Amino acid sequence: MANDNDDKLSKQLEDVQSYAILTEEIGAGRAPRPATPGSPAAPGSSPLGQIVEGALREVLGWRPRATDAQGFVAALNQSFSVKEVEGHVEWSWTPRTYAIAAEMGAVTGAQASIYSRARAMLDQSLPLLNGISPLRPDFDLEDSEAIRAIVRSSLTELVGELGREGGPRISRVDELFELLLGEHSSLRDTENVAGQLGLLRDRFGMRRQFVNTIGEEQNLTNFLILVDNSNSLRQTWISQRHFFDLKGTDVFLGTQMVLLSRALAVVAESVEEAYFAMDSVFLGQAERQITELKFGKPVFNPPLDLPPIFIGDLLSWIERFATEEGPRLIREGGKDGVITAFSPTAKKLRQLAEAAERISKSNSNNPTRAFHTARVQRALTELTSQLKEVEKLATEVRRLPLPHPIVVNPDSVHEQNRRIVRLTVEGKNFQPGSTGTRVKLDQKGKGGNEIWGTEVIVASESLLNATFDLRDSEKAPTDQYTIVVFNPDGGSGSRDDAFTISRGQKSMAQK
């Protein structure tokens, strides 16, 4: 082991002596690279046709097709209405879908609809807020104006957060609703509102005992409408909140598209950094085009089922996917494009980048000495990490939510003395390849004891393993237990009374 460390240290010292020290600052933008035969034009500006198609999709809610003249006319008729007003013709545009700056960025899809609803609420509520006048005779002018300004600020911040690019921050939206309306998520009586609106009610005296004239009654009603608007938006948020939690597989495509766009931009930058690192160790563009990566022995045993590929071809493939192919599939194919084309390609590129990283970190001579330097290793590690994030985001897009897990047959392999049980659970709809699966033993209705599993490994959609510590008698009393499996997307499944813990025999029996 000492000899291996000495060899590694000597190679690192040799790298320092052989290759220039990096002092060039890498900017945030992507530097243009020389074109290679067969490669597409360097990105940077969208073709005019793509801009026109994007505008038509946004204005008409229709995907342009050169041969579909009837579809174009139908989309025009549905999006625009014409009428004659006082001797002249007026055209009115009726948006078929909400889309705010919807070209792989900003607010799109379902989030745009929610944001538009919030904007309408704000436009209606601010005049009501500004027009409210105190009903109590002993009001304090400065205190009243202060709470009015606070409520105005919270409403404005709330709507701005709902329109945040990439999706609203859940904690921020929850906090703003709590500040405005109080902690309780359901408000049945608008007159008993808490939070900042409750403080405004108390400062202004918005109580029925202070109402005497018709104008005062209208003033109170305006306040109640203001509270009702905020509460109605809160109920919409509660019903849609889980689509933005970044946990499950049932996500809004529009918001997920923005996250994918960001992740692809980072992948493109990582490719540029890999180019820069390889250039610095004299593994230039021409050499990359003839240097082959081989995924066989001795680095891979058994060999990977991947054909050899040139370093330059791999990096250019990743770069084009991140800048052109991937965004186009999302933009034109929607969920089907992500599921059937984008996600498999992202997975394949991640596998190739991961294999290239492993080769770079090995002691083999495949493919060249410069490829094994620490700089190239770090660049490939970063590239692999970003491709994993793209793959993860893509797998969260589905036509339908994933089904809940079903526990069919728990089976235990236990150690009678140590009482550390490694449990094998058979079932359906488990989520392999994802993190966050949890398993517990639940003593339902009998003290509420719960024993959470550790080292949970999802081997397949029908098999997982988890470890349970039963040494604490208070934590694991003798009884029958229900086993519960929680998937990362929030779905859960259970089987009642699946296990019996027997203290006398110091074992765990399967029902």
The token duo for 194 is 């808490």
Task: Evaluate whether 75 touches 355 at the Cβ level (below 8 Å).
Answer: no
For the stretch 258-311, pLDDT in tens is: 788 889 989 999 999 999 999 988 889 999 999 889 888 888 888 888 889 999
Torsion of CA 74, 75, 79, 81, to 10 degrees: -20
For the stretch 412-422, pLDDT in tens is: 544 444 577 88
Per-residue HEC secondary structure of 167-221 comes to CCCHHHHHHHHHHHHCCCCCCCCHHHCCHHHHHHHHHHCCCHHHCCCHHHHHHHH
Query: Is the whole model's pTM more than 0.95, yes or no?
Result: no
**More confident position, 124 or 93:** 124
Average pLDDT, the chain: 78
For the stretch 132-155, pLDDT in tens is: 999 888 888 888 899 999 999 999
pLDDT given for residue 155 in this prediction: 93
User: How many residues make up the chain in this entry?
Assistant: 511
* Residue that has been written with the tokens 């409403």 in this structure: 155
Q: Does residue 511 register a pLDDT over 50?
A: no
pLDDT given for residue 463 in this prediction: 87
Taking Cα atoms as reference points, which of 449, 447, 440 lies closest to residue 485? Answer: 440
Q: Cα–Cα distance between 476 and 440 in angstroms, integer?
A: 12
pLDDT given for residue 394 in this prediction: 86
Q: Cα–Cα distance between 374 and 379 in angstroms, integer?
A: 9
Task: Evaluate whether 385 touches 478 at the Cβ level (below 8 Å).
Answer: no
**More confident position, 62 or 346:** 346
pLDDT band of residue 95 (cuts 50, 70, 90) is: low
Domain 406-510 has CATH 1.10.3470: no
Q: Does residue 121 register a pLDDT over 50?
A: yes
For the stretch 327-342, pLDDT in tens is: 888 878 878 888 888 9
For the stretch 391-441, pLDDT in tens is: 988 887 776 666 777 777 775 544 444 577 888 888 888 877 666 788 888
The identity of residue 452, as a single letter, is W
pLDDT band of residue 197 (cuts 50, 70, 90) is: very high
Q: What would the mean pLDDT of 14-38 be, rounded to a whole number? A: 49
How far, CA to CA in Å, does 429 sit from each of 250, 330, 403?
A: 15, 27, 6
**φ/ψ of residue 313, rounded to 5:** -65, -40
For the stretch 451-469, pLDDT in tens is: 888 888 888 888 888 888 8
Share of the chain above pLDDT 70, in %: 74
The token duo for 237 is 């948020």
Q: Where are the domains of the chain?
A: 48-93, 109-244, 266-395, 406-510
> Largest alpha-carbon pair distance within the chain?
96
The token duo for 63 is 């995907």
Q: Cα–Cα distance between 339 and 129 in angstroms, integer?
A: 46
Q: Cα–Cα distance between 461 and 417 in angstroms, integer?
A: 32
pLDDT given for residue 63 in this prediction: 61
Q: Cα–Cα distance between 353 and 390 in angstroms, integer?
A: 13
pLDDT given for residue 7 in this prediction: 58
**More confident position, 373 or 101:** 373
**More confident position, 60 or 368:** 368
pLDDT given for residue 239 in this prediction: 82
Share of the chain above pLDDT 90, in %: 25
pLDDT given for residue 6 in this prediction: 58
- Secondary element (H or E) of residue 56: helix 48-60
